[in-house]
Chains A and B, each alone.
Chain A
Amino acid sequence: RKEVEQDPGPFNVPEGATVAFNCTYSNSASQSFFWYRQDCRKEPKLLMSVYSSGNEDGRFTAQLNRASQYISLLIRDSKLSDSATYLCVVSYYGGSQGNLIFGKGTKLSVKP
């Protein structure tokens, strides 16, 4: 079983749509959780950290359920510029000062 599993995608949605990505992780010792965004042929960039209490950054909301080992990302009012691959990432260390374990990613394509 892979350490981090994500929806296979791709997700093709119209502008303005709300889209949700799910992710599960296998190691209960995981300490830190993140969503990264990766554009085609580019490096991943941190989108947001994920906290147990849930957190929001503008149109993006992330949730963590430690009991279910489940992480989610909700994007509201999708923009064309949101088109990218979204990577679910966990770490066994606090913060990101340690080895990151990446999911395969879910590709999002927002159409006009």
Chain B
Amino acid sequence: GAVVSQHPSWVICKSGTSVKIECRSLDFQATTMFWYRQFPKQSLMLMATSNEGSKATYEQGVEKDKFLINHASLTLSTLTVTSAHPEDSSFYICSAISRDYYEQYFGPGTRLTVT
């Protein structure tokens, strides 16, 4: 099956700083990538959908100026959490799809802790 990687797998940062998370499709070209967030004991919530070369579509309630998404190539999407606050501490997971695959393939997730 297809492989999606994320980097870093975990990060601790101070309040007010920015953090960039990378999502890569390793062996296929991802036409669309999704970014999810999961708080403890909660469901995965879709934050945004990004298509290569175009602006991301954000879900209601997700601040696009705070969560910057760049899908610059068919194998890479980045999520930057700007001016992070403790309430942004969460598990961030990306997924990717292509025309060749029926299934959304998920990355291993990035655990962000903001102190």
Q: List residues of A whose CB falls within 8 A of some B CB.
A: 4, 41-46, 87, 95-97, 99-105
Chain A residue with Cβ nearest B106: A43
14 A-B pairs besides A97-B102, A102-B43, A104-B41 with CB distance below 8 A are A41-B91, A42-B108, A43-B107, A43-B108, A43-B109, A44-B93, A95-B102, A96-B102, A96-B104, A100-B44, A100-B46, A101-B46, A104-B43, A105-B43
Q: Which of B29-63 contact A (CB under 8 A)?
A: 32, 34, 41-46, 49
In the complex the two chains form, is B97's CB within 8 Å of A99's CB? no
Separation of A104 and B111 alpha carbons in the complex (Å): 18
Contacting residues, chain A, for B107 (C-beta < 8 A) = 43
Given A99-B34, A104-B43, A105-B43, check contact A42 B109 (CB 8 Å).
Answer: yes
Q: List residues of B whose CB falls within 8 A of some A CB.
A: 32, 34, 41-46, 49, 91, 93, 97, 102-104, 106-109, 111
Pairs A–B under 8 Å by Cβ, sample size 16: A4-B43, A41-B91, A43-B108, A44-B93, A46-B103, A46-B104, A87-B43, A96-B97, A96-B102, A96-B104, A99-B34, A99-B46, A100-B34, A102-B45, A104-B42, A104-B43
Contacting residues, chain B, for A97 (C-beta < 8 A) = 32, 97, 102, 104
Contacting residues, chain A, for B46 (C-beta < 8 A) = 99-101
